[in-house]
Structure 1
Amino acid sequence: MYKTIVSLIILITLSLGAMAAPIKGSGASSCGNWLKERRNGTYAVDLNWVLGFISAYNHYIDSSTGGNGVFGSSDIEGVAAWMDNYCSSNPLSNPYTGSVELIEELKLRSKF
């Protein structure tokens, strides 16, 4: 019941868009910046922001799936590749929005 209520609150907060609290750090940068840093090999801070965001989701929302939470069997390289594809397809977006979409995809994968 608690997880359902918290999940509902998070979904409502995310749907408010501009009314939600501002995102800080690398998640607020652009997908163009993500791709540039990946090409330059200077993406560690951005990738760690994404991993931390997903880890925070696991800590506060979903710590199921055999101790790996929503990560499931995903590894760091897989997360980075997913974000590369997301940012290539959504150049006007940002790592925060990509991370939210990645969490949703990982949640769907963990149900199978």
Structure 2
Amino acid sequence: MKKALAAAAILFTLHTPAAHAVAIFGNIDCGKWVRTPNNTQKTWLLGYLSGLAQGLSKPGFDPLNKLNSAEQAYLWMDNYCATHPLKSEADGAEELWFELIKAK
């Protein structure tokens, strides 16, 4: 009986999904966003947000509709990066995404 329980415990631990990192290409740190903002970084931000919207799309769910313009997203990122210079652009984009989801 003990052997069966031990085997079951091992099997369950082998099939437990593990957290893993995901590669995010083109991501920069917020310090660079603040020091040298450019169109490449802005395009990356819009692409990242659009990718989230497309990948997570479902009827009645469109958080990006809560933005009035791309400029609003850039300004949000300017403010985020000014107060979080050691974070990454992806961190800021995720924070913006979650704020848009929570916005009514």
What range describes the TM-score normalised by the shorter chain of this pair? 0.7 to 0.9
- Regions of 4+ moved over 4 Å: 63-66
**Matching residue of 1:51:** 46
Q: Considering only CA atoms, is the larger Rg found in Structure 1 or Structure 2?
A: 2
Aligned length: 87
Gaps of 5+ in 2: 1-16
- Where structure 1 has 5 or more consecutive residues not aligned to the other structure, the ranges are 1-11
How many Å apart are 1:86 and its aligned residue?
0.5
Could you tell which deviates more after superposition, 82-91 or 56-65?
56-65
Give 1:54's aligned amino acid.
L
Percentage of matched positions with identical amino acids: 28
* 86, 101, 106: which one aligns with 2:80: 86
* TM-score, normalisation: structure 1: 0.69
What is the CA–CA distance in structure 2 between the aligned matches of 1:64 and 1:105, rounded to whole Å? 19
Q: CA deviation at 1:22?
A: 2.2
Q: Name whichever structure is richer in helix by fraction.
A: 1
Cα distance change on mapping 1:47 and 1:65 into 2, 3 Å: farther
RMSD, aligned α-carbons: 2.1
TM-score (norm 2): 0.74
